[in-house]
Structures are given as structure tokens and as C-alpha cells.
Chain A
Amino acid sequence: MLLSYLLLSGVTTGALYALVALGLVVVNKATGILNFSQGELFMFSGFIAWSLHVQLGLGYLPSFLGTVLAGFALGLTIDRVAFRPVKSSDVIAIVLATVGISFVLKGAARIIWGGKSDYLSFPPITSPDPIVVGPVLIIPQQIVAFLGAVAIMLGFAAFFRYSRLGKMMQATADNKKAATLVGIRTDRIYTLAFGTGAAVAAAAAVLAAPLTLLYPDMGFSFFIKGFAAAVLGGLASLPGAVLGGFLVGIVEALAGGYIHSSVMEVSAFIMIMIVLIVRPTGLLSFYQARRV
């Protein structure tokens, strides 16, 4: 019973980490930088969802859509405010700009939602009572979050595989010069990458909100887990980020269940270290090397 619970829990949180990682990878693939405000985008979006759902009384689905749109708009703003003005500068300047944005978002969340160490709870969207199916303990809320995350991942994969815009993003990430030469307006692709990355973080936040408490400092923890997942996948691989997210979630849950709850937070760092030592190009690098 414990193992099944831990596995389900790990897969669910892993799916959410995978979404955070996907946002990081999309921006990194297109622009070559790591968006350190990804965790705070997740946090800020969670609060927006809370406002839409709890304060304005919108249903869960409209709140979800509204938050994803708001997240996309936030991503576009970050592109305009933090990336474009410094994009010709050293990469350190660009990364620091995203760190600055993370502080701005955290401060704004405290001002708007009166954080000050307060925790806001998002109402459950399903019955909080667990369902026991044979030896498996199922929490309906986790199933909703997991299925939602998987649906977003599939949509993401289809976007890159079949849509013209997705292919333009991939081409820009593969070779910016070639993309420019065929007439792809790469500045717009960067904007779209920031918007998409933030929208995915927002979607993850709305799915995670009923499972957790909302507080202004929650972003860093999710960023580290998403970053660990992205590193496991090699930082530039979308399937790798998904695999990494599930691995981080499952290892974290098992470590917390079988070793000690304090190991949960550390497990992501340990995984980053192991992967960087054993396979620094990511878990799927062997597969990619064979493909090319």
C-alpha cells in the first residue's frame, strides 16, 4: 500500500516537475539561457489561479485557461523587460536579468496577496477522500493533476512535431543563422519561447495548486526540481525533460517514504550531481547520438 501510494504520489509530482522543466527547456533551446524566474512564474501563476477561482468565483477550467493566458502574457513581458534589452550582452547579464525578475515576481506576490509567510489554500476540485482499489491507494486529485499534465505534454509534443510555429521554434533552436536566412523572424520566436515557457509553468501551477499550499517562496523549490529534471534530460531535450521530471518525482517520493522526509528536498540535488558526473549530456544523449 505504501509503495503504491508513494509511486502514485511521485508520478503526479513528477509530471508537474516535468512541466516546469519543459518551460525551462523551451526557453533554453530557443535562446540558450536558463530562465531563473521559471519557479517564480509558477508561484505567481498559482496565486493568479487562486484569485480567479477563489476571489472571483470562476470555475476551475476557466481559472485554468485564464491563468495560462496570464502566464503567457507574463512570459512576453519578461522577454520585453529582461531579455531583449540585454540580449546582445554577456550571458551572465541575461541570466542575472532573469534572477532579477524572480525577485520582482516574489515581491509583487507579497504585495498583491499579502504573503508575509501566510499560506493560501486552493480548494480541492475533487473529493479529498482516497479511493482504495485492491492494493493501490488512489487520491482523485492526484489523478486529475497527472492526467492534466500528461495532456499538456502530449499537446506540447504535437505542437513541436506538427505545427508550423513549433517547427520554426525548433529550427531557431537548432541553428539560428539558418533560421534567419530562410526568413524566420527569430526575435519573435524568442518572444514566443518565453511566452510558451511561462504558460507551461502556469499550467503546472494550476494543476499543482489543489495539491499544495500557495506561498511566495514556493517557486524556488519547484525551480530546483524542474531544473534537476531538465538537467537529467540534457537541458535541451523535451522528451528528456519529461523523463527527468518523472524520475525526480518518483525518487523524491521513495526517498521521503523509505529513508526520511528530510531527504526529499536533497534528492533532486543528489540526482543533478550524479547525472553531471556520469552522463553530463543528459540521460537521452545516447539515443540522440544514435539518431544523428
Chain B
Amino acid sequence: MLEVRHLKVSYGLTQVLHDVSFDVPDGKIVAMLGGNGSGKTTLLNTLTGLVKPAGGSVMFENAECAGLSAYDLVRRGIVQVPQGRDVWPSMSVEDNLFLGAVTRHDRAEIRKDQANVLELFPKLMPKLRRAAGSLSGGEQQMVAIGRALMARPRYLLMDEPSAGLAPAIVSDMVDTILALNERGLTILLVEQNIGVAAAVAEHAHVLQNGEIAFSGPAAGLLDDPAVLRSYLGR
């Protein structure tokens, strides 16, 4: 269980997250929705060690994790798939995957995990030696997810995995997220695409101006016209 309590984050004098509290139970998919500037990416970056919180607590399996480095969090099993893929463009797909396991030293298991990633994304198999920057957006997203899986995460924190993808590829991405969850991964999905969140998440939160404005079952929340109009701009 990932328990976020009263989390506060500031950039200088500007407070970006105000008293954010929510849970991500083991084995579930939880969606965090919100418009541009609502604080979604800051929240994810704080949970994965890129940003230090100004206050609050992040408990992961009964241990305090707030303020730990990204390295420590990856080793504990919390891994982020960043927005915009963020692959290493000049490096090969194989090296991108290999470096996903940089905190591990069990070579045989790493090779096994690479085979599992290629089983999940067979399209990457013939492109292992190609520069990751030369792949399509959808393939780069596969590399980014595959790279995160190489760390053997238990919690996968995905930042807008559907952003910039063609509708057909978005549908594949939904299938991938569900498949990962079926394999036992807990997922916190930060999204602007309400359709993707509705298709995969059991529980959802809406972040507005750095605060959780609504929480509830994903289906009910996403059908609420007031939520759509007020907080997602629809």
C-alpha cells in the first residue's frame, strides 16, 4: 500500500501541492486526473524522488519514503514512466532496456526480464539495435515502459502514457496497462485523457490547483457532469 498524507510541495515561494492525501492499494489501478498546471506531474515527481516535499508523509509498506532519492525509491520498487517517453534517443533500444536495470546486479534475472519485456512488446524485438530516438511515438512509449519494468517495480507510476499517441496506439496502451496490472503490478496513472483512465482505473482522484477536489470510484466520478465541467474542462 502507498499512503500519501498531507503532502505539500513548493517551488520557491509558490506552493504547488497543498495537503494532498490519497491511497494506492496493492494490486489496483488508481487514476489521478487533472488539467494542465493542476500539479499532477509534480505529484508524480515527488513520489519518485525528483522533487523534495515541503511537508507531509509518503508511506510505502509501512516505511516512510518522503524525500528519499530516486535511486532508493527504485530499489524499493517505485518506478516512474515519465511523460513524453523520455527515452535516450542516441542509445539503442537494447541499451535503454539494459539501463532500466541499473540498480540491479542479478545478470541472469535481468536477461530473463528483458525477454519478458520483448514478449510484452514483440514489436521491439527486431529494433533492439536501433537508436531509440528513431522509433515511432508508440514504440518509444513501449521502450519507456519496458525500461521501467526492467527495474522490477512493484508500483508503476505512469505520467500521461497516452499523450501524443494516435487513437489506435492509445487503445494498445490501455491493453498494455491492463496486462501489467494482471501480472500483479500496482499502477498510479496520471492522465488528462479521461477515456483512458475510465477504461483501466478502479478508483480515481481529481487534482485541481494542487488539491484533491474529488475522489471516488473511477466510473462514477468520470460520469459526473459537474466534475467533467468544473475540473476537466468538458
Residues of A within 8 A of B (CB): 164, 167-168, 170-171, 174-175, 177-185, 288, 291-292
* B88-A178 in contact (CB<8A): yes
Chain B residue with the shortest CB-CB distance to A187: B69
Question: Which residue of A170, A181, A184 contacts B80 across the interface (Cβ within 8 Å)?
Answer: A181
* B147-A291 in contact (CB<8A): no
Q: Which residues of A contact B48 (CB under 8 A)?
A: 181
* A292-B90 in contact (CB<8A): yes
Chain A residue with the shortest CB-CB distance to B92: A167
Within 8 A of A (CB), among B36-64: 48-50
Q: Which residues of A contact B50 (CB under 8 A)?
A: 177, 180-181
* B91-A170 in contact (CB<8A): yes
Chain A residue with the shortest CB-CB distance to B71: A183
* B82-A177 in contact (CB<8A): yes
Binds A, one of B3-11, B96-104, B118-126, B166-174: B96-104
* A183-B103 in contact (CB<8A): yes
Chain A residue with the shortest CB-CB distance to B88: A174
* A167-B95 in contact (CB<8A): yes
Interchain CA distance A288-B86 in the complex, whole Å:
19
- Once A168-B102, A183-B102, A183-B103 are accepted as A-B contacts, the answer to whether A175 and B151 lie under 8 Å apart by CB is no
Which 7 pairs from chain A and chain B are nearest by CB?
A183-B74, A183-B103, A174-B88, A178-B86, A183-B71, A292-B133, A180-B70
Q: Which residues of B contact A167 (CB under 8 A)?
A: 91, 95, 98-99
* A183-B70 in contact (CB<8A): yes
Within 8 A of A (CB), among B71-97: 71, 74-75, 79-80, 82, 86-91, 95
* A174-B90 in contact (CB<8A): yes
* B103-A292 in contact (CB<8A): no
- Once A181-B82, A183-B75, A291-B131 are accepted as A-B contacts, the answer to whether A175 and B88 lie under 8 Å apart by CB is yes
* A174-B99 in contact (CB<8A): no
Interchain CA distance A150-B86 in the complex, whole Å:
34
Q: Which residues of A contact B151 (CB under 8 A)?
A: 182-183
Interchain CA distance A164-B100 in the complex, whole Å:
12
Chain B residue with the shortest CB-CB distance to A161: B95
Q: How far is the CB of B104 from chain A (nearest CB, A)?
A: 9
- Once A167-B98, A180-B50, A184-B99 are accepted as A-B contacts, the answer to whether A174 and B89 lie under 8 Å apart by CB is yes
Q: How far is the CB of B12 from chain A (nearest CB, A)?
A: 12
